[in-house]
Structure 1
Amino acid sequence: MTKPKFSFTHYDLKQQRAGVSIEITLSAVANVRLMTENNFALYKQAMKHQFIGGVARKSPIRLTIPQSGRWHVVVDMEGHHGQSGSSIRIIETAATPRFQSAS
């Protein structure tokens, strides 16, 4: 089992529902990857994986959970020099208001 040759910061978001936004604050340019449980397992083994995000050149950035499930955020410096500090914040989105019929 191969592991990534670079260090990364991992945030386990646990179970999240679709539509929740994640705000990631960085101190430098870094890669930000929002991924499912299965894709995170592939990432840790340095295998091909899928993610939402990419190179974050500004901070903070926001990513939205596309479907309910267990999610992970990874911040890494692959392809970049130096180090980047990071923090995340889960932003609860308001439920869609339901209209009721007047009698």
Structure 2
Amino acid sequence: MTVVHRDLGTQYDGAILELLLDDRADVLILDPANYRRYCLGVGFHAYGGHGLHTPLRLPLPGAGHWHAVVTTADPFAEDAEAIRVRRPLAPVPGAGRAPGRAAATPAAAASVPLAA
């Protein structure tokens, strides 16, 4: 099993996480507090899911600082997943929203919240 972590930094509403997968993968999108809890092995809340196809596109839950954790079954996938964030081309309504608060847009609602 391979686990790849990316600090996505601060993102705006409407940003989309895009992954190019070599194999099936589990993807977690976490804010900094939940990423710390994930690293400690205690209960955390995340967005994401199971990726079966490439490219996999997941809208970030809202404005704020985010981390992505990708887990694959392939033990030899060094850094096989290309992970990038696509920013919106135009300002998205509500872009001034407080970090970590999900936007009430169809794109943001497409991410499925996960609980550990």
Q: Which runs of 4+ in 1 moved over 6 A?
A: none
Equivalent AA in structure 2 for residue 90 of structure 1:
V
Structure 2 residue aligned with 1:82: 74
Provide the secondary structure at the position in 2 that maps to 1:40.
helix
Provide the secondary structure at the position in 2 that maps to 1:67.
coil
RMSD: 2.1
CA positional deviation for 1:60: 1.2
Structure 1 residue aligned with 2:32: 37
Provide the secondary structure at the position in 2 that maps to 1:51.
strand
Aligned pairs for 1:1-103 (under 5 A) are 7-77=2-72, 81-83=73-75, 84=77, 85-96=80-91
CA positional deviation for 1:94: 2.0
CA positional deviation for 1:96: 4.6
Aligned identity (percent) is 28
Equivalent AA in structure 2 for residue 82 of structure 1:
D
CA positional deviation for 1:7: 4.7
- TM-score normalised to structure 1 length: 0.76
1:50 and 1:36 mapped to 2: Cα distance?
Answer: 9
1:88 and 1:59 mapped to 2: Cα distance?
Answer: 11
CA positional deviation for 1:66: 2.1
- TM-score normalised to structure 2 length: 0.68
1:90 and 1:20 mapped to 2: Cα distance?
Answer: 7
Number of corresponding residues: 90
The superposition leaves residues 46-98 of structure 1 with CA deviations (integer Å, 9 ceiling, x where unpaired) of 11111111111111111112221110110113xxx42342011211212258x
